[in-house]
């Protein structure tokens, strides 16, 4: 299943009992985010909230605000048109392991996957609902501007209003390869924002090439449409892999792309709102502070400036937003889904990996649990080094490796193994790697130390000279006997 607009997703959420409509006016300055934060802290992420009458400086906006739409396991799966994100993970695994079919059934399954891959190719269309209403900010005076959108101020000490769920489209000027990333945008005035692509991200690399060539960088920001787009934008796909292909494959329907009005880029025709413009070489401006994923404010720093040339939208557009802060928040469920979906890719690189988890407390990269089927000495360290060298896993601050019989989805089980199975000096390693720009702990921004713990059972050859004890476990026959009772015998 795919969605033709954000309104379509809202309808689906509502029919599933996953949405609350707030019909009274609520301010876009702090009030919407306070209610959303309370909802996100409820067990299993609460419900999605649709604010029908968001107010900007006391005036009701014509665009409703949708928030927490992907903030639970169920809603995250619904956003991708699935019952569970594992369905997509199995499809990816199948594709990667595909071998010539041996049976008719194998052949049919392969054919079906082939058809899904056909959907990965986008279709180019002349017109799209995202351009039903067009405002050129670079031409005739228009009273429509960024200030007309219900952009939220999330936390009291934020430097202003921030677009928090944007999908940012850029192209590599050398190859023409497209990238979509999710980078927040601080509103400076009606036609200018910050562009918070951090130094390690793909759009920052594109930007650097434009700056070196001395050319303005076209940028398009799409909001809304099928929720597969924000998910694809935040997912850590390798540089060079087009998120639009992934989105089409994931939703089993080709993405329709339409040319932007004022920049040489294409965006999904079914988006709700599109903001177009340019980033100019060398121009930066202080950005922040911003109450961030880390649960702390990120301080002011210089980032590129985005000059808006046009804003287009559907007639009945909905403005999508999220709030980040002390976890768990909506982004935890987005991050968790991306780990589940891309686990087969990790396993392809590291066949010993059984499972992985990035618990909410670790705010994405700060804490990574990995279980492995260990075969040889120091294999846990090999896995750590591999992860530190793999895309955005480079940011992983603490990696804890456990044996395959430990459930990494259960934080307390992992901490138990860490505490009981490690001799800190022998089983840890501290190394240097780039660190997440948002991490406030390193002395120098973007450079940090990273620590790994081998909490697996020690094998002969790993220097452990005593016999490793067995984990205390009940006899399986006795467990089976006890399982037959709901409570106690009799």
Point out which residues bind ligand FMN (CB under 6 A). 164, 179, 181-184, 196-198, 201-203, 234, 236, 322, 324, 331, 334, 392
Residue 169 C-beta: closest distance to ligand FMN, Å: 10
Residue 298 C-beta: closest distance to ligand FMN, Å: 9
In the residue annotation, 106 being an active-site residue is answered as no
Residue closer to ligand FMN, measured from CB, 334 or 408: 334
Pair type for strands 167-171 and 178-181: antiparallel
Burial 30-56 (b: 16+ CB within 10 A, else e): ebbbebbbebbeeeebbbbbbbeebbb
How far is 283 from 306, CA to CA, in rounded Å? Answer: 9
Residue 459 C-beta: closest distance to ligand FMN, Å: 36
Q: Nearest 5°: CA angle at 83, between 77 and 88? A: 70
Residue closer to ligand FMN, measured from CB, 138 or 177: 177
Find the Cα–Cα–Cα–Cα dihedral 93, 97, 99, 101, rounded to 10°: -30
Residue closer to ligand FMN, measured from CB, 147 or 198: 198
Return the SS3 of 363: coil
Residue closer to ligand FMN, measured from CB, 2 or 167: 167
Burial of 329 (0-12, 13-18, 19+ CB in 10 A): buried
Task: Let me know: does 346 contact 408? Beta carbons within 8 Å.
Answer: no
Q: Which of 314, 267, 318, 285 is nearest to 51 (CA)?
A: 318
Residue 321 C-beta: closest distance to ligand FMN, Å: 9
Set 272, 292, 436, 454: catalytic member? 292
Residue 396 C-beta: closest distance to ligand FMN, Å: 13
Residue closer to ligand FMN, measured from CB, 202 or 305: 202
The residues facing 167 across adjacent strands are: 222
Radius of gyration of the chain (CA): 24
Pair type for strands 162-163 and 290-291: unpaired
Residue closer to ligand FMN, measured from CB, 296 or 464: 296
- The residues assigned a catalytic role are 292
């Amino acid at each position: 299943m795919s969605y033709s607009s954000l309104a379509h997703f809202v309808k689906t959420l509502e029919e599933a009992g996953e949405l609350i409509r707030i019909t009274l006016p609520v301010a876009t300055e702090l009030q919407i985010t306070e209610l959303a934060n309370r909802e996100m802290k409820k067990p299993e992420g609460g419900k999605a909230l649709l604010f029908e009458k968001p107010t900007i400086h006391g005036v009701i906006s014509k665009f409703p605000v949708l928030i927490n739409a992907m903030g639970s396991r169920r809603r995250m799966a619904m956003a991708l048109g699935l019952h569970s994100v594992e369905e997509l993970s199995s499809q990816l695994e199948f594709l990667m392991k595909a071998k010539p079919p041996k049976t008719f059934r194998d052949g049919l399954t392969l054919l079906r996957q082939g058809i899904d891959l056909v959907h990965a190719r986008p279709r180019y269309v002349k017109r799209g609902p995202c351009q039903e209403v067009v405002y050129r900010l670079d031409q005739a005076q228009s009273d429509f501007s960024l200030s007309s959108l219900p952009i939220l101020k999330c936390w009291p000490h934020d430097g202003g209003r921030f677009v928090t769920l944007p999908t940012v489209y850029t192209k590599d000027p050398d190859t023409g390869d497209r990238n979509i990333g999710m980078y927040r945008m601080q509103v400076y005035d009606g036609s200018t924002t910050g562009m918070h692509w951090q130094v390690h991200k793909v759009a920052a690399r594109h930007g650097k090439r434009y700056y070196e060539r001395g050319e303005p960088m076209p940028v398009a920001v799409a909001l809304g449409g099928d929720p597969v787009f924000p998910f694809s934008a935040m997912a850590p796909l390798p540089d060079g892999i087009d998120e639009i292909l992934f989105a089409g494959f994931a939703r089993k329907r080709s993405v329709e792309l339409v040319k932007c009005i004022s920049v040489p880029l294409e965006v999904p025709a079914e988006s709700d709102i599109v903001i177009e413009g340019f980033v100019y070489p060398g121009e930066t401006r202080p950005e922040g502070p911003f109450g961030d994923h880390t649960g702390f404010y990120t301080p002011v720093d210089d980032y590129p400036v985005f000059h808006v040339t046009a804003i287009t939208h559907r007639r009945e557009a909905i403005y999508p937003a999220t709030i980040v802060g002390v976890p768990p928040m909506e982004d935890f469920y987005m991050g968790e889904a991306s780990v589940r979906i891309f686990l087969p890719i990790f396993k392809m690189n590291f066949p010993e990996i059984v499972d992985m988890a990035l618990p909410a407390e670790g705010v994405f990269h700060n804490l990574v649990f990995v279980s492995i089927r260990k075969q040889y000495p120091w294999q846990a360290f090999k896995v750590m080094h591999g992860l530190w060298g793999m895309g955005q896993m480079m940011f992983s601050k603490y990696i804890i490796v456990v044996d395959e019989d430990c459930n990494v989805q259960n934080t307390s089980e992992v901490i138990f193994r860490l505490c009981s199975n490690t001799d800190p000096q022998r089983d840890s390693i501290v190394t240097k790697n780039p660190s997440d720009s948002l991490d406030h702990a390193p002395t120098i921004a973007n450079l940090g130390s990273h620590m790994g713990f081998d909490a697996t059972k020690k094998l002969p050859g790993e220097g452990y000279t005593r016999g490793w004890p067995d984990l205390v476990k009940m006899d399986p026959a006795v467990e089976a006997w006890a399982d037959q009772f709901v409570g106690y015998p009799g």
